[in-house]
Amino acid sequence: MDETTQPQQSHLFTVRLWPEVTEPASGIWRGKVQHVSGGAWRSFQDWDTLVAFLQTQMEDLASATHQHS
């Protein structure tokens, strides 16, 4: 199966990362992820929070798409 045979809706998210200011040498990073067209966003300090947000957003977007079909 390739992208040309099955119509798929795509979603654009931005992810912004920056080093923790209080301890620059600590290797701690902070971030913010945002769904570009929907506006929903979440701050995060670990990958699990980022992934959980993306999964929830994709599930919500899939539900909304199926309700409008």
According to DSSP, residue 21 is labeled: S
Question: The pTM is what?
Answer: 0.73
Residues of the chain with pLDDT under 50: 1, 6
Structure tokens at 21: 């200011």
**pLDDT attached to residue 10:** 87
pLDDT of residue 23: 61
State the Cα–Cα distance between residues 45 and 62, nearest whole angstrom.
26
By DSSP bridging, strand 41-44 and strand 13-19 are: unpaired
* C-alpha closest to that of 29 among 13, 14, 16: 16
